[in-house]
Amino acid sequence: MKKENPMSTAAVALRAAIHDALVADGALVALLGGPKVYDEPPQGAAFPYVTLGDARIADFSAGSDPAQDFGFGNGGLIALDYFSSNDFATGLAIDRKHQRLFAACSNKVMVIVDSTTGHGVAQVPIGAGVDGAAFDEAKQLAFASGGDGTLTVIREEAPDKFSVAETVATRPGARTMALDERTHRIFLSTAQRNPVAPATPGQPHPRATVVPGTFEVLVVEP
């Protein structure tokens, strides 16, 4: 008969104890809207929820005395992932060196995510009506272009530390963006728009139309 590894049993017991402690926390359960604590979230699970992530086991044995150190998730931490159904991302960029994703969201927040674990590491305020995101690897700067006429410049001070370096005034509607990584210039497109037409049964959510001949490309110098 195969002998059970006592350390594996201890890891399972520890994980179960952490899970039970979290679901017994009334304040946490109220915040989550239920006991939504998972090893792996089920498909279609509604945010917010808590994930324990993958187990991390390090050998701390000394001589003949076996010992192991246990942890969960990125760096052995328990991660709380939160997104509202209205906080959808409309722009996405990546820092390949540090494996960070920059998600420009409709709730005027840029969420920075560890691309290897899917866990959020930071949130930074940005402008409204965002559409584009970009990352300049050489300068370690992320950008979010908003339809409210702002370009938010975010500095990556460290892989888990980010701050707003500058908010550049552009033009209303200038939310589509491209980055030239050679010259570090940002290009934004916009145009003048006609007043929004009244809503109708056939078009309950009308959008402003572009005034012909007013299209322009803005260039933001580094």
Residues 40 and 58 placed together within one structural domain of the fold = yes
Domain assignment present for 217: no
Same-domain pairing of 105 and 35: no
Please check whether residues 95 and 166 belong to one and the same domain: yes
Summarised one tens digit per residue, pLDDT across range 149-178 is 999 999 999 999 999 999 999 999 999 999
Asked whether residue 63 falls in the same domain as residue 127, the answer is no
Q: Where are the alpha helices (DSSP H) in the chain?
A: 6-23, 26-32
Asked whether the beta carbons of 48 and 37 are under 8 A apart, the reply is no
Total residues belonging to the chain: 222
Q: Is residue 220 part of a domain?
A: no
Q: Are residues 73 and 94 in the same domain?
A: no
pTM for the whole structure: 0.63
Give the CA distances from residue 169 to residues 20, 88, 194, 202, 214, in Å, rounded to whole numbers and listed in that order: 50, 24, 22, 36, 19
Three-state secondary-structure class, residue 121: strand
Q: Is 218 contained in some domain?
A: no
Q: Are residues 111 and 172 in the same domain?
A: yes
pLDDT in tens, 52-89: 755 554 554 445 555 444 455 544 444 555 555 556 77
pLDDT at 102 over 90: yes
Residue 38 lies in a domain: yes
Instruction: Output the DSSP codes for 150-203.
Output: EEEEEEEEETTEEEEEEEEE--TT--EEEEETTTTEEEEEE--BPPPPPP-SS-
Q: Is residue 209 part of a domain?
A: no
Does residue 3 or residue 201 have the better pLDDT?
Answer: 201
Higher pLDDT, 47 or 134: 134
| Domain annotation covers residue 207 | no
Same structural domain, 146 and 166: yes
Question: Do 125 and 154 belong together in one domain?
Answer: yes
Domain containing 71: what range?
A: 6-81
CATH of residue 136: 2.40.10
Whole-number mean pLDDT of the chain? 81
What is the rounded CA–CA span in Å between residue 42 and residue 47?
11
- d(CA 22, CA 3) in angstroms, rounded, equals 31
Domain count for the chain: 2
What are the pLDDT digits (tens) for 197-206?
898 888 888 8
